[in-house]
Amino acid sequence: MSTQPIAKVMVIDDSQTIRRTAETLLAREGYEVITAQDGFEALAKIAEQAPDLIFVDIMMPRLDGYQACALIKGNPRFARTPVIMLSSKDGLFDRARGRIVGSDEYLTKPFTKDELLGAVRAHIKK
């Protein structure tokens, strides 16, 4: 019996540990998970896979989370896709900058299972 995933969630982070942790937690709850290690890889996968929600790390090589979020939100096809910033910094400036580029929420790493799933549930309507 194959069941349809609840939704597609993308996790963009240059840390394999963070990607793997998020992927495990989300997959256990029935989400289909797509991962990317930087913004460039993510942009190609987003166009192909059209995720329902995107987590993006702020500090990444080549294309950081702010730039990636701005590009995602600037594309009419994905402008309504929720983007949640991930950062190890919990500063007001970082949160404000995330809002400016269009992020829907801000999660501080390391996040708990409840924080991760709560953020997904808040933005994905079943």
> Which CATH number characterizes residue 73's domain?
3.40.50.2300
User: Would you say residue 27 lies in a domain?
Assistant: yes
Both tokens of residue 54? 């995107």
Angle among Cα 123, 125, 126 to the nearest 5 degrees reads 140
Residue-wise pLDDT for 79-94, tens only, equals: 999 999 999 988 889 9
Full residue range of the structural domain in which residue 31 is found: 8-123
pLDDT above 80 (res 49): yes
58's CB contacts (< 8 A; 6+ apart) are 64, 65, 66, 85, 86, 87, 89, 94, 98
Q: How many domains does the chain have?
A: 1
| Range from 1-10, 32-41, 68-77, 84-93 carrying the lowest mean pLDDT | 1-10
User: Would you say residue 51 lies in a domain?
Assistant: yes
User: Would you say residue 2 lies in a domain?
Assistant: no
User: Would you say residue 117 lies in a domain?
Assistant: yes
